[in-house]
Structure formats: C-alpha cells, structure tokens
Chains A and B, each alone.
Chain A
Amino acid sequence: MFIIGERINGMFKDIAQAIREQDPRAVQEWARRQDEAGARYLDINTGPAASDPIKAMRWLVEVTQEVTDLPLCLDSTNYDVIEAGLEVCKRPAMINSVPAEWPKMERVFTMAAKYDAAVIGLAMNEEGIPKDADTRVALAMELVAAADSYGIHMENLYIDPLVLPCNVGQDHGPEVMRTLQQVKLLADPAPRTVVGLSNISQGTKGDRSLINRTFAAMAIAHGLDAAVGDACDEELMRIIATARVIMNLDIYCDSYVDIYVTQK
C-alpha cells in the first residue's frame, strides 16, 4: 500500500494563498516534504476557492513538477480542470475521480486512455453512496467493465469503496472492509483499491491520527493498495511499512521501514 500525499489542496489555507498570489513556495515545500516522507503520488486539488481552476491546476502541476519526480493525482470534479492538468503532466498521472455514472465514465476513461493515466473509480452513482458491500461491489463491477471497454489496464483502475466518518457511518466500516476484499475477485489481474484515509476520522474529536493509522493497518489486511493521506505522519508510514511486511507484500529486512520510505 502506498500513500498519495494529500497536502497540496486548496482547502488548506497556505495552498489557497499560494494559488491566489501565484507564489509557489508553499506548494513546493509540501511537494518536497511529502516526497521525502515516502509519498508515491502527490494529490493536486485547487480547492473550491480558486477563481480560475483550470489556470490554477495547470500552475500547481507545473510548480510541483519543478521540485519532484513523483507522479501526480489530479483531484477535481470538473473534468476540464483535470484535462488541463493532464496536458502538462510529465509523467503518467492519476485521475481523482469518477463515479459509476454515464456519461462521466465515458469522459474520464477516454481521457485516461489518451494520457495513459490511472483512474480512481468511486463505488457510487446518482443514488449516492451505497450502504452495503454488495451494492458497492456491483458498482465497482460497472467501473471495471467500463474501464476495460476503453482499454484501461486493471492495474490502472483504483476502486474507492468510499469511507464515511466512523462517528456518523459506523455501520459502513465492515462493509468497506468486505468491499476491499471482494473487488479483488472482479477481474484477473484484479483492479486496485484506494481510500481517502482521513475521511474515516472526519469530524471526530481527539486523536484523529490514531483512527487513520488503525484504519490503514486494517484496510491493508483486507487488500488495500493505496490511500490518499498524510505522508508526513511518520508513525502512519511506519505502520504501513510493517503491515506490508506482515501481508508478505515486501520482503523483510532489518531496515524495512527506512527502505519503504526511501525506495520509490
């Protein structure tokens, strides 16, 4: 499992200010820090406040690529914004995200094929987020079939079962875990899975990172491949490295934590 660094997002004040003032320092600082901390992708989100999101996305991609070789995960519900970012990405990117809805899937998978990008597919549709695992898996299957019809490799499709905060959607927890496992049975090779890690602790009081870290370890045990999260949470990275060894994803050696962080 790897982390898609969440920090370059206009929801954060320093990034919003950077976009507004076209001052790349905060963006580049977070790009460097997340890269050094062991992120494998960097999420790029202009946030809701950007006055010209297409211009903002392009600028964020460009200034981020000046300081890191990590691939980027372009995060927007506006596909014109994502396409503007894809046009300037130096390495194959990830599109965040598309629900199991037409014509959105057509737009996104066409774009993904054109730019050799990976896609995060959300296990939801017009009716919202399903309550149970079975409905989530059925929607995942729609995403798998649609992606396949556009020639997207399953290794490039990341199914997000959609996580609700554990204080409001407690009954979703076990459903998400079951979904993670079952998605792996949908195709061979299997599609990958991703979650928004911090969603699980949204709105909780107290130690949010404890909830995020515990969820990460449990989800890895259920086959999770990637998470949008806080790469700079050192303890989280140590837990991921350890869970990967326990799940036989990485070969153990005494320096396994260091090597997980530094080996891209």
Chain B
Amino acid sequence: MAFSAMKERYRNKINEVVLGATKEEGGTRGYTVTVGGESALPFLHFEGEIPNRPIVALEVWDVAPTDWHESFTTYFGDVFDNPAQWAKKCVEEYGADVIAVRLKGADPDVADASPEDCVKVVKDILAAVSCPLIVLGCGKAEKDNQVLPAVAEAAAGENLLIGSAEQENYKSLAAACMVHKHSLIASSPIDINICKQLNILITEMNLPAERIVIDPTTAALGYGLEYGYSIMERARIGALQGDKMLAMPILGNVGHEVWRAKEANISAEDMPGWGEQPSRGFLWEATTATALLQAGMNIVVMRHPAAVALVKQNITELMKPTSFEE
C-alpha cells in the first residue's frame, strides 16, 4: 500500500514583512529582504509554502564593546571603533543578510550618546552598506524613546526594523515607525499572552500587522532555551490555526543571550573538560540558533562569524524541498 502523508490543513499563514526600501520605494537600500509568509510549521515543505528563508543579522555596535570575549578581536578588532566599516565587513566577509545596529552607546551607563550621535552612526552605516538595517536601542526605555524616534525621522523611508516596543512602552516607537515608514519589533518577556496583547495594542494604533516582527524573547542553550522555544512554537501553531494577532515573523537576539553564558566564554584552562573556548563559543551560538529555527524563528540576530556560517549552511539545507511520492 502506498504511503500517504498525513497533512495538517492550516487556515492562516505568517505575515510577510519586508525589511528595507530601495530608491523607488523611498529609501536608499540596494535591495530589500522579505521574511515570513510560511503556511506550515518550519521547513515542512510538503505541508505548505515556505517562501522565504530565515535570515541572519550580525550585530554592529555604535561603540566598541568592552564586554565581548577577546576572541572577537580576531574578526572585528580592526573595525570595532568604526561602525560603518564593521557593518561593511559583516556583509562582505561574513555573509550577514542584514545588519543589526545596536545603539549600546546611548545607554547612560555606557557612553550616554546623544540622539544626534546615534543618528550619525546609523546614517554612516546606511551609506556604507546596501543591505536593510535593524536598529536596536540600548534597552533602557527612557533613553530609547529619545534616540529611536530621532533615528526613525533621520532615516525616514528606509523601512528600518526598529526595536524594541514593549507593553509598557510602545506608543512613541509605534508612532515613529508609522510616520516615518519603518517596521517595528514588538518584544514580550517569554509570555505569549503579552506577546498577543502587544500586537493588538500596536495594530490599534494603526501600524499594519505586516510591519510588525515579534521578539518573544529567548535564552541561550542551557539557560531556558526550551521556554523560549515553547512560546515561539505555540505562537506559530496559533498563528497557522487562524490567530492573526500572533501571525508575525519572529526575531531572536541569539548572540546577545549566548555570549552572556559562561559556557561560551570560559577558557579551557578554567574548565579543562569543556574543550577549547574558540570552537565551544561559536558552537554554543550556532546550536542555540539552529534549535530556534525549528521553533519558527525568521530573523536570527548573531555575533560570531563562524556561527553565522554554520547557521546559514543549516538554513540552506533546511530550505531544500521535502516531498513524498504520492
């Protein structure tokens, strides 16, 4: 008897969100990148359409990071003080699909960079690379509310993906994205109810659902990855079954989480049984990322070029169509 695959029939699909805008579209990007659009669970090509591959963003900071592991200097030591060159290197040498600019320097406890300083960094990066940009604040709401609207205005029409809006702090960012034609990251603290509610609140401000990407928050391998995974999986199943307020592409700050973990950083001298740090570090990042791809993550924000290479290779393999003889 011939094998017949059981297929789920879903009512809905994930929204397609476009990053960047070309000259014709009001921006200056050389090309745009589309994420989302899938009508089945991750990589189940036989069950639905997976029209766009997940993408990898490499982080670029506006200030030279002081807390990154020293092994990163091999890759970025020459450009840490020059965000534009840093971004260029990420795209040209390390295969980043898009750049995630993290305005860490805006943090009052880091460099307390002014909105004008931040605008200049983003402008310089926009001039240096032709790929779409993600722009992340420093994570302190009060300062981000000054910095990110200024960036949104200065880069009007570029269709940046700006983040992050949170339940207690979404209005000024949503308004800035709406007025200046950008997309928005809606972030929730590993909580599917808040994830959904925040999407409702933002769409009620008339920012279209097709311009929202969700960051349901994750943790690194070994630090509660499975909680983040479960939330993403639940959101994705809910979305495919018809919940439009969860049908947004998913972004994850994988590099940020992984490189806080002891397992990625500690030296072999300190932990002889764990093997050499350089490979252990990027494998920790690549493993976390590839696990989350299976939960439905569409945009992986990463740090280590070797991890990026592995994850992109994994994505290429996963995007090969699967099929059954019928």
Closest approach, in angstroms, between the C-beta of B322 and any C-beta of chain A? 21
A231-264 vs B, CB cutoff 8 Å, 1 = contact: the mask equals 0000000000000000000111111001100010
CB of B304 within 8 Å of the partner chain: no
CB–CB B200/A253 < 8 A? yes
Q: Which of B9, B192, B193, B235 contacts A153 (CB 8 A)?
A: B9
Q: Which positions 221-274 of chain B face chain A at CB distance < 8 Å?
A: 234-235, 238, 242-246
CB–CB A253/B193 < 8 A? yes
Closest approach, in angstroms, between the C-beta of B189 and any C-beta of chain A? 14
Q: Which positions 123-149 of chain B face chain A at CB distance < 8 Å?
A: none
CB–CB B244/A251 < 8 A? no
Which residues of B lie under 8 Å from residue A134 when comparing CB positions?
Answer: none
CB–CB B197/A251 < 8 A? no
Closest residue of chain A to B239 (Cβ to Cβ) is A251
Which residues of B lie under 8 Å from residue A255 when comparing CB positions?
Answer: 197, 200
Assembled-state Cα–Cα distance A253/B197 (Å): 5
Closest approach, in angstroms, between the C-beta of A45 and any C-beta of chain B? 26
Q: Which among A155, A253, A254, A255 has the highest number of chain B CB atoms within 10 Å?
A: A253
CB–CB B196/A251 < 8 A? yes
Assembled-state Cα–Cα distance A263/B192 (Å): 18
CB–CB B197/A254 < 8 A? yes
CB–CB A250/B243 < 8 A? yes
CB–CB B9/A251 < 8 A? no
Number of chain B residues close to chain A: CB under 8 A: 15
Assembled-state Cα–Cα distance A177/B244 (Å): 31
Which residues of B lie under 8 Å from residue A252 when comparing CB positions?
Answer: 193, 196
Assembled-state Cα–Cα distance A249/B227 (Å): 21
Closest residue of chain A to B199 (Cβ to Cβ) is A253
Which residues of B lie under 8 Å from residue A253 when comparing CB positions?
Answer: 193-194, 196-197, 200, 245
Assembled-state Cα–Cα distance A258/B235 (Å): 19
Which residues of A lie under 8 Å from residue B194 when comparing CB positions?
Answer: 253
Which residues of B lie under 8 Å from residue A153 when comparing CB positions?
Answer: 9
Assembled-state Cα–Cα distance A189/B8 (Å): 9
Q: Which among B193, B196, B238 has the highest number of chain A CB atoms within 10 Å?
A: B196
CB–CB B193/A259 < 8 A? no
B185-227 vs A, CB cutoff 8 Å, 1 = contact: the mask equals 0000000111011001000000000000000000000000000
CB–CB A251/B200 < 8 A? no
CB–CB B200/A259 < 8 A? yes
Q: Which positions 153-168 of chain A face chain B at CB distance < 8 Å?
A: 153, 155
Assembled-state Cα–Cα distance A251/B194 (Å): 10
Assembled-state Cα–Cα distance A126/B245 (Å): 46
Closest residue of chain B to A254 (Cβ to Cβ) is B197
Closest residue of chain A to B201 (Cβ to Cβ) is A255
Which residues of B lie under 8 Å from residue A189 when comparing CB positions?
Answer: 9
A136-160 vs B, CB cutoff 8 Å, 1 = contact: the mask equals 0000000000000000010100000
Q: Which of B193, B243, B246 contacts A254 (CB 8 A)?
A: B193
Q: Which positions 112-143 of chain A face chain B at CB distance < 8 Å?
A: none
Closest approach, in angstroms, between the C-beta of A3 and any C-beta of chain B? 15
CB–CB A259/B9 < 8 A? no
Q: Which among A189, A251, A252 has the highest number of chain B CB atoms within 10 Å?
A: A251
Closest approach, in angstroms, between the C-beta of A102 and any C-beta of chain B? 28
Assembled-state Cα–Cα distance A259/B197 (Å): 10
Which residues of A lie under 8 Å from residue B243 when comparing CB positions?
Answer: 250-251, 263
Closest residue of chain A to B191 (Cβ to Cβ) is A253
Closest approach, in angstroms, between the C-beta of A244 and any C-beta of chain B? 11
Assembled-state Cα–Cα distance A259/B243 (Å): 9
Closest approach, in angstroms, between the C-beta of A43 and any C-beta of chain B? 21
Assembled-state Cα–Cα distance A263/B12 (Å): 12
Closest approach, in angstroms, between the C-beta of B127 and any C-beta of chain A? 41
Q: Which positions 110-168 of chain B face chain A at CB distance < 8 Å?
A: none
Which residues of B lie under 8 Å from residue A258 when comparing CB positions?
Answer: 200
| Pairs A-B, 9 closest by C-beta atoms | A253-B196, A253-B197, A255-B200, A251-B238, A254-B197, A253-B193, A252-B193, A263-B244, A251-B192
Could you tell me which B residues sit within 8 Å of A by CB distance?
9, 192-194, 196-197, 200, 234-235, 238, 242-246
**Known contacts A253-B200, A263-B245, then 8 further A-B pairs from the complex at CB < 8 Å, ordered by chain A residue:** A251-B192, A251-B193, A251-B243, A253-B193, A253-B194, A253-B197, A253-B245, A259-B196
Q: List 22 A-B contacts (CB under 8 A).
A: A153-B9, A155-B9, A189-B9, A251-B192, A251-B193, A251-B196, A251-B235, A251-B243, A251-B246, A253-B193, A253-B194, A253-B196, A253-B197, A253-B245, A254-B193, A254-B197, A255-B197, A258-B200, A259-B196, A259-B200, A263-B242, A263-B243
